[in-house]
């Protein structure tokens, strides 16, 4: 019984990690694009002594996930990419919020109810797959923007399942 709880708590922790990683990547990409745009237009000049720059960066840091996703799709994506990517990002946002605000705060209670555990693991797997799919797209866009190599199609194809397995099968993966 104790091992089941331990594994379930690892799953909760890893799910929360994946959720926060996605949020951080969305914030990083939106911030990168906003800073590049503001710098190119001459609105800001990066300098530690420039109070306008620091205020600008503080505003960007405080944006919520929905604001960063909205910023990305409404200001930086062509219409065809927006139509494809917005539903994926929005589903991931909803999944992230469910993990962060509904699932993990009640994890101790849920872990004590063995009859719920199998269904709970499958629910977490589904949520994590949604987040991993969106995060994969955000990371590829970030790599393209920063001129870093984009992972191969083979790697990208199995990404969601690999992340879901890492989260939901803690004893079987490292």
Task: Give tens-digit pLDDT for 16-31.
Answer: 999 999 999 999 999 9
Range of lowest pLDDT (51-60, 81-90, 135-144, 164-173):
51-60
pLDDT category, 167, cuts 50, 70, 90?
A: very high
Q: For the purposes of burial, counting CB atoms within 10 Å of the CB of 20, is it exposed (0-12), middle (13-18) or buried (19 or more)?
A: middle
pLDDT digits over 105-128, tens only? 766 666 666 666 778 889 999 999
Q: Is the pLDDT of residue 37 over 60?
A: yes
Q: Which residues of 34-69 are buried (b: 16+ CB within 10 A; e: fewer)?
A: bbeebeeeeebeeeeeeeebeebeeebeebebeebb
Q: Which residue has the tokens 């629910």?
A: 123
Contact between 129 and 161 (Cβ < 8 Å)? yes
Contact between 91 and 129 (Cβ < 8 Å)? no
Distance CA 23, CA 131 (A): 9
Distance CA 148, CA 83 (A): 25
pTM: 0.86
Range of lowest pLDDT (51-60, 95-104, 133-142):
51-60
């Amino acid at each position: 019984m104790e091992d089941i709880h331990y594994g379930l708590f690892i799953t909760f922790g890893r799910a929360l990690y994946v959720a926060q990683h996605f949020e951080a990547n969305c914030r990083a990409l939106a911030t990168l694009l906003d800073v590049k745009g503001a710098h190119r237009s001459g609105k800001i000049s990066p300098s530690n002594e420039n109070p306008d720059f620091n205020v600008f960066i503080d505003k960007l840091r405080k944006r919520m996930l929905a604001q960063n996703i909205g910023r990305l799709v409404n200001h930086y994506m062509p219409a065809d990419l927006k139509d494809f990517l917005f539903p994926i990002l929005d589903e991931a946002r909803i999944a992230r919020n469910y993990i962060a605000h509904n699932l993990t705060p009640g994890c101790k209670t849920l872990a004590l109810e063995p009859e719920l555990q199998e269904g709970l693991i499958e629910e977490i797997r589904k949520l994590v797959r949604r987040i991993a799919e969106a995060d994969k797209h955000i990371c590829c866009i970030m790599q393209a923007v920063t001129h870093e190599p984009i992972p191969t199609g083979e790697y990208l194809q199995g990404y969601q399942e690999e992340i879901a397995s890492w989260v939901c099968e803690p004893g079987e993966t490292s």
